[in-house]
Structure 1
Amino acid sequence: MAQTTKYVIKYKLNGERRFEFAQLENGTAEEAKAALDKLHGQSEDVISEISVSKAL
């Protein structure tokens, strides 16, 4: 199993600012988008302005 690090993902969901914590391998925007897609499912929600940083 790959080593993961806890990251905070800041994003907008349908224009509303939100954040989530996730265990990611590299902390890339693509990895964060995949984690958010899993979390929110295949809904009609629009996810935008994704930024990723290490959690404190």
Structure 2
Amino acid sequence: MAQTTKYVIKYKLNGERRFEFAQLVNGSEEEAKAALDAIHGQGEDVISDISVSKAL
């Protein structure tokens, strides 16, 4: 299993600012989008303005 690091993902869900914590391998935007899709499902919600940084 790959080594993971805790990241904070800042994003907008339907225009509302939100954040989530996730264990990611490399902290890429694509990996963060996949984690957000897993959290929110792939319904009609619009996820935008994704930024990823290491959690303190």
TM-score interval w.r.t. the shorter chain? over 0.9
* Structure 1 vs Structure 2 CA RMSD: 0.4
Match of 1:53 in 2: 53
Structure 1 residues 20-50: Cα deviation after superposition (integer angstroms, max 9, x where no partner): 0000000000000000000001210000000
**Superposed counterparts of 1:18-37, under 5 Å:** 18-37=18-37
TM-score for both structures, normalised by structure 1: 0.98
Q: Within 1, Cα distance between the matches of 2:42 and 2:50?
A: 18
**Gaps in structure 1 of 5+ consecutive residues:** none
Structure 1 runs, 4 residues or longer, greater than 3 Å off: none
TM-score for both structures, normalised by structure 2: 0.98
Instruction: Give the number of aligned pairs.
Output: 56
Using the aligned pairs only, state the percent identity: 88
